[in-house]
Chain A
């Protein structure tokens, strides 16, 4: 079965610094890949997704992620952190390449942004 690993449950960066949140998945079958953000006391909001095509995906709020099949990774980056980026971030993948009932979530990474 598919699984998702997010390295680092807590990440702290300074305002203006690079944000890098790591996500690795386990399947040899290329899945669909997603990053979601959750602000305090809110539901999840889609940041970006990869289904097919270009492996560098741009999302909202200046975030982007690159699908690297050889590394089974889908790391999330942002060149310059803002205070408003402080939130919890979830990586998610489909089980079985998109034609499936399940979306598998990682355990989340809480991003803190220091002034």
Chain B
């Protein structure tokens, strides 16, 4: 079975803390993504990666960074957490080369609920 695993389902962090959200996929997928999901706003893309050590900004990268040192792992980093980063974070992955990413199914993890107090 295809598996995208987000290691932390529920986190509570204090304002100003550095937060790491980890995502691992076991499907040898080239492409990995971080979204945040907020009521009434749908899913918004934060960052994505097409390859190891490669990253590109999505629509809302401010306040976030990412790391992809190994193909199977894509980490989202909140350098200094703020209350407006309280949200559900979804990791996703999909196989395929750059020009035909979306012909393939995208697989999502179960989400990480982050509360910043």
Residues on A close to B: CB < 8 A? 4, 9, 32, 36, 41-46, 49, 51, 90, 92, 94, 98-103, 105-108
Interface residues of chain A: helix, strand, loop or mixed (majority): loop
> Which single residue of chain B is at the shortest CB-CB distance from A9?
B40
Chain B contacts for A100, CB-based, 8 A:
101-102
> Which single residue of chain B is at the shortest CB-CB distance from A44?
B108
Q: Are A108 and B111 also in contact (CB < 8 A) when A32-B102, A51-B102 are?
A: no
Chain B interfacial residues counted at CB < 8 A: 28
Chain A contacts for B50, CB-based, 8 A:
101
Query: Which one, B59, B90, B103, contacts A51 given CB within 8 A?
Result: B103
Q: How far is the CA of A65 from the CA of B101 in the complex (A)?
A: 21
Determine if B61 is an interface residue (Cβ-Cβ < 8 Å).
no
Does the CB pair A98–B105 fall under 8 Å? no
Query: Which one, B44, B90, B101, contacts A44 given CB within 8 A?
Result: B90
Nearest-CB distance from B5 to chain A (Å)?
A: 10
Within 8 A of A (CB), among B8-51: 33, 35, 40-45, 48, 50
Nearest-CB distance from A29 to chain B (Å)?
A: 13
Q: Which 4 A-B pairs have the closest CB atoms?
A: A43-B108, A105-B42, A105-B43, A107-B42
Determine if B99 is an interface residue (Cβ-Cβ < 8 Å).
yes
Nearest-CB distance from A23 to chain B (Å)?
A: 12
Does the CB pair A43–B102 fall under 8 Å? no
27 contacts between A and B (CB under 8 A): A4-B42, A9-B40, A36-B108, A41-B110, A42-B110, A43-B108, A43-B109, A43-B110, A43-B111, A44-B90, A44-B92, A46-B105, A98-B101, A98-B102, A98-B103, A99-B100, A100-B102, A101-B48, A101-B50, A101-B56, A102-B45, A103-B33, A103-B45, A106-B42, A107-B40, A107-B41, A108-B42
